[in-house]
Amino acid sequence: MEMALAEAAAAAAMGEVPVGAVVVLNGEVIAAAHNRREVDSDPTAHAELLAIRHAAQVIGDWRLEGCTVYVTLEPCAMCAGLMVNSRIARCVYGTPDPRGGFLGTLGDLSSNTVLNHRFEVEAGVCAEAAAAHLKNFFQRVRAKKTD
């Protein structure tokens, strides 16, 4: 999760919402990314999506069975759905997302019985640090608007 937090800091430094993600397989980091929606003008350029896409390229398969995604913010519906579709084994996230989180807050795609895959979720890992990145970022954004 420390690496995901570092990715979140890199996103903030670029003016992106500070979310970072890391994909681990057999104890080894195989991919890491941070949000790039603003930089790439791409609404899908979420940290999780970019890290999962890279992990699939690294292992040469769209099925990421056995992989764990570490992400600083609870994944949205798109990213949670991607975790279902890529057969992620586990997602560990930092802070919940009351406006978009779909691994327990607004819904839960990880254990939906109508879907063809379910995965384990662990919430609250380094939650304070992840929340602090977001709080600081949005305070700076609001301060710029009042200048």
Per the annotation, the verdict on 16 as an active-site residue is no
Please give the Cα distance from 95 to 100 (Å, whole number).
12
Strands (E), 13-110: 20-25, 28-34, 67-73, 90-95
Query: Three-state DSSP class for 116?
Result: coil
| Radius of gyration from C-alpha coordinates of the chain | 15
Query: Look-up: residue for tokens 């949205």?
Result: 76
Please give the Cα distance from 91 to 75 (Å, whole number).
9
Task: Please pick, among 48, 120, 122, 128, the residue that the annotation labels catalytic.
Answer: 48
Q: In Å, how far are 2, 25, 87, 134 from 130, measured between CA atoms?
A: 10, 22, 25, 7
Q: Where are the alpha helices (DSSP H) in the chain?
A: 2-13, 37-40, 47-59, 77-85, 127-146
Which residues are annotated as catalytic? 48
